[in-house]
Amino acid sequence: MSHEITPSRVAEERTPKLWTGDYYNEGISHEGVFDKLKEECGVFGVFGHPDAASLSYYGLHALQHRGEESAGICTTDGGDFNYHRGMGLVKEVFDKDRLGSLIGSNSIGHVRYSTSGESKLANAQPLVFKYRDGDLAIATNGNIVNANQIRKELEAKGSIFQTSSDTEVLAHLIARSSKDFVAATKEALQQLVGGFAFLIMTNNKLIAASDPNGLRPLTMGRLGDAYLFASETCAFEVVGAELVRDIQPGEMLIFDENGVVEDRYSEMQRRSLCAMEYIYFSRPDTDLNGANLHAARKRMGKKMAQESFVDADIVTGVPDSSISAAIGYAEETGIPYELGLIKNKYTGRTFIQPSQELREQGVKMKLSAVRKVVEGKRVVMIDDSIVRGTTSRRIVNLLREAGATQVHVRITSPPFKNPCFYGIDTPNRQELIASCKTIEEIRQEINADSLAFLTKDGLIEAIDSYSTQELNGGLCLACFDNDYPTEVQFHGTEKFGCGCE
């Protein structure tokens, strides 16, 4: 019998309700304080290592930036599942005792932001089910575009869903099939449309699968005889594992006691790895599709300098994601790179209800301008993207208040005009400033002396992955060019552009 190590009622009651104003998360977008995009989720899996839970803990910790709302690990030694999930950071959800009780050599783990489904413990992953052939656990990164449609069809046939997570439809599709687990999983994956990376575990098998376009990253590593899986390679580094390869679009790898079967459930469609992984989401020490993120971001900064040079006294990057690009801009132009902005490293949660005034001041809790560095200087401020424009305006104003005489903003991606359907939590189109305003209007809105965006071609050239010969360099650029690599389901005004057109 499976048993869940449930948090005590007291602890559960103390768990804050996310995004309801019960607490103020200064690390990520909320209530317009930080209008950065919310990263999606991170997955980490182990097959064949006696310390699977501990490896997962460290792996998930390295992937923490991909999801701070909940964390979970499910393990098995070939028999019962042991699992624990909770709201909060990995280090908050797991302690030594909990990890010690997660016995088994196979595991899948997850860190989450809610990109689909509500933010609550029931939706924390891995999702765990009992079905005809035993236990089933699923951890996913991404979004199933046709999940609602499948869900309605399944409910009409009698399925009862336990969560509002789109991932649960996969479990139902597998469970309803009369075929064996692998064939049922293959058939189920073939019905899904979207951008997703799955780790699926039974009592004796583990499957790693990527969507047919490879929208969301999933990599495989090796540690001795064990196989590891992670959304980003930085998670392998922390446990001393070596990268083997990326899971290819449409591929499903099946691991059991007989070894590994490399199979496909779909032909590869147009390869479309999310460009925002390179621009913003992934850690700089991660390699994606053959390109190191720090190096790629430096090239974006260099390319930016070639496309939109502006003379200045110093270059500074908005920490942390834009520091690499700022170094690249500085190297290309010879303008010195300086730490003009400092990030408050504490990105946890404070249990205060911020007043409107505090919300307005919120950016100062996260970032400080270094007066002695920027005072009297013409500053080039490098950032990775502009979503609503509110954060950019606040950071520009921080620099001005600290004495910068000019602030020139350079964005290392094209204007972000379109919503994402593949697991990135983006506002509606009408809230995206670039969908409604010209570059000059945005410049005025964010109070910059000048503003320029990296071109689409410049971005593709800068990323320089081994998919360069493919369409768009093997990248999804839909939030910039509206060219979605799959069918998508638009709602309301999204399809026809912003409400202010």
Buried b (16+ CB within 10 A) or exposed e, 57-95: bbbbbbbbbbbbbbbbbbbbeeebbbbbbbbbbbeebbe
170 makes contact with ligand SF4 (CB under 6 A):
no
- Rounded to whole angstroms, the Cα distance separating 156 from 352 reads 44
Residue 84 identity (one-letter amino acid)? H
User: What tokens appear for 456 in the block?
Assistant: 């689409």
197 makes contact with ligand SF4 (CB under 6 A):
no
CB of 493 to ligand SF4, least distance (A): 18
217 makes contact with ligand SF4 (CB under 6 A):
no
CB of 382 to ligand SF4, least distance (A): 20
Closest to 381 measured CA to CA, from 304, 293, 436: 304
Cα Rg for the chain, rounded, in angstroms?
Answer: 23
- Rounded to whole angstroms, the Cα distance separating 341 from 324 reads 14
Which segment (6-14, 269-277, 304-312, 342-350) binds ligand SF4 by CB under 6 A?
269-277
Is 383 labeled as ligand-binding?
yes
- Give residues 273-292 in contact with ligand SF4 (rule: CB under 6 A): 274-276
CB of 29 to ligand SF4, least distance (A): 14
386 makes contact with ligand SF4 (CB under 6 A):
no
- Rounded to whole angstroms, the Cα distance separating 430 from 487 reads 21
Helix (H) or strand (E) holding 473: none
CB of 164 to ligand SF4, least distance (A): 21
CB of 33 to ligand SF4, least distance (A): 21
Which segment (64-72, 154-162, 168-176, 419-427) binds ligand SF4 by CB under 6 A?
419-427
265 vs 422, which CB is nearer to ligand SF4? 422
Q: Which residues pair with 128 in a beta bridge?
A: 137
- Give residues 293-352 in contact with ligand SF4 (rule: CB under 6 A): none
Sign for the CA dihedral angle at 274, 426, 208, 210 comes to negative
Q: Kindly provide the residue ranges of all beta strands, DSSP E only, lying in 418-499, ordered along the sequence.
A: 450-453, 475-476
Residue count at the site for ligand SF4 (CB under 6 A)?
Answer: 12
Is 500 labeled as ligand-binding?
no
Which segment (16-24, 90-98, 332-340, 420-428) binds ligand SF4 by CB under 6 A?
420-428
Is 479 labeled as ligand-binding?
yes
**How far are the Cα atoms of 169, 199, 229, 256, 295 from residue 234, in angstroms, in the given order?**
30, 18, 11, 25, 14
Which segment (151-159, 389-397, 406-414, 417-425) binds ligand SF4 by CB under 6 A?
417-425
228 vs 386, which CB is nearer to ligand SF4? 386
The question of whether 41 is a catalytic residue gets the answer yes
> Which ranges of 15-156 does DSSP label H, i.e. alpha helix?
52-62, 90-93, 96-100, 147-156
Closest to 194 measured CA to CA, from 475, 487, 492, 457: 487
Which segment (22-30, 93-101, 271-279, 400-408) binds ligand SF4 by CB under 6 A?
271-279
Q: How far apart are the first and last CA of the chain?
A: 58
User: Can you tell me which of 478, 488, 494, 498 binds ligand SF4, judged by CB under 6 A?
Assistant: 478
CB of 146 to ligand SF4, least distance (A): 16
User: Can you tell me which of 45, 59, 195, 354 binds ligand SF4, judged by CB under 6 A?
Assistant: 195
208 makes contact with ligand SF4 (CB under 6 A):
no
332 vs 384, which CB is nearer to ligand SF4? 384
User: Can you tell me which of 62, 71, 318, 420 binds ligand SF4, judged by CB under 6 A?
Assistant: 420
What does the DSSP assignment read for 51-65?
THHHHHHHHHHHTGG
Q: Which residues pair with 274 in a beta bridge?
A: 476
CB of 60 to ligand SF4, least distance (A): 22
Say if CB 254 and CB 261 are below 8 A apart: yes
Binding pattern for the stretch 60-89 against ligand SF4, x by CB under 6 A and - elsewhere: ------------------------------
206 makes contact with ligand SF4 (CB under 6 A):
no
Sign for the CA dihedral angle at 435, 441, 447, 452 comes to positive
Residue 140, exposed/middle/buried by CB under 10 A (0-12, 13-18, 19+)?
buried
Supply the residues annotated as catalytic.
41
Annotated binding-site residue numbers for [4Fe-4S] cluster = 274, 420, 476, 479
Annotated binding-site residue numbers for Mg(2+) = 321, 383-384
Where on the chain is the footprint of ligand SF4 (CB under 6 A)? 195, 215, 274-276, 420, 422, 424, 476-479
